[in-house]
Amino acid sequence: MTFKRMLAAGLILGMTSLGLTAFAPADRALAADAVTLQLKWVTQAQFAGYYVAKEKGYYTDEGLDVTINPGGPDVAPPQVIAGGGADVVIDWLPSALASREKGVPLVNISQPFKKSGLWLTCRKDTGIKTPADLKGKKLGVWFGGNEYPFLAWMSKLGLKTDGSPDGVTVIKQGFNVDPLLQKQADCISTMSYNEYWQVIEAGVKPEDLVVFKYEDEGVATLEDGLYVMEKNLDDPKFVDKMARFVKATMKGWDYARQHPDEAAEIVLDNDASGAQTAEHQKRMAEEIVKLLDTKDDGKLDPADFDRTVEILMAGGSDPVITKKPEGAYSFKVYEAMK
């Protein structure tokens, strides 16, 4: 039973009044380094490793006092960190590189997610069987930085996104699956660990869907990575703090990999909205671990970075980024772990 569930059950009522908190090492509490993490989206099992690391005391063990700020439809991690609202943010590499080219010097310091979970999910009754069949169709797409992999894929297919007869019509998709369920779109963007299962939970059978996985289509780009502002990496104290943060985080992810159901429960304990369900979060936790870096250290593979850059630059007259970025990732944090 987690601390919060014990509190809810009244099992630790009055412990503070009894002075038990006095047994916490005062020097550790005073010495703890504050870290603010900005999530890319709301509290859910997509971020289980971070919540597990906090709940299990892995951050505390590293002398850190970590605050995890949920995201949402109106929260853009690059803007948050540029404004000083976080020390480190979770973002997708396409979004981070696009932001960097626009003047926000984000640097990837760790890449816990090795694989992409982005899918395009279509209704089979639309006649779509292959990517070539997407021409002339209405496709739901997330924006706010999430559109870049899709735009790169359409460029590869030679399909314009302006609604012309030889292209596709893009519908700005909210963070739900309603356009597919209500047949307002032929296909929608889904994540392998979230929206796809929302469609299934709504009563649609898997055999009534056609799924295109970005990994299979050769347009997979790196997703949830950890980013900091470039200037901060010149500060040895900050680098040391991030080294401890990444170390504890990967320990949290390793635990979540081995105990997905418990990780989901920890996420639910931290969901202030109360909107998440146990069934969906447990399923999400099981799917999320399939995307993790199996080396367990989360260190970015330069080959994966180069592949993402190549995909983003292959946009003809309208690429996501116009030049290969320099200094967009750093191993300083990992070197500080040695």
Rounded Cα distance, 139 and 131, in Å: 12
Task: Give the type of residue at 329.
Answer: Y
The confidence score (pLDDT) of residue 152 equals 87
pLDDT band at 317 (very low <50, low <70, confident <90, very high): low
Looking at every residue in the chain, the average pLDDT score rounds to 90
Average pLDDT of the residues in 94-121 = 96
Of the listed ranges 23-32, 54-63, 297-306, the least confidently predicted one is: 23-32
End-to-end CA, the chain: 35
Residue where the block lists tokens 């630059």: 313
Domains (ranges, CATH) in the chain?
Answer: 32-115+222-337 (3.40.190.10), 118-213 (3.40.190.10)
Centroid of chain to Cα 242: 18
Q: What is the DSSP string of 183-204?
A: TS-SEEEEETTTHHHHHHHTT-
Question: Could you give phi then psi for residue 202, rounded to 5 degrees?
Answer: -80, -5
Rounded Cα distance, 159 and 172, in Å: 17
pLDDT band at 316 (very low <50, low <70, confident <90, very high): low
> Is 31 in contact with 83 (CB distance < 8 Å)?
no
Average pLDDT of the residues in 99-104 = 96
pLDDT at 30 over 90: no
Roughly what angle, to the nearest 10 degrees, separates helices 236-258 and 48-55? 100
pLDDT band at 26 (very low <50, low <70, confident <90, very high): very low
The confidence score (pLDDT) of residue 4 equals 45
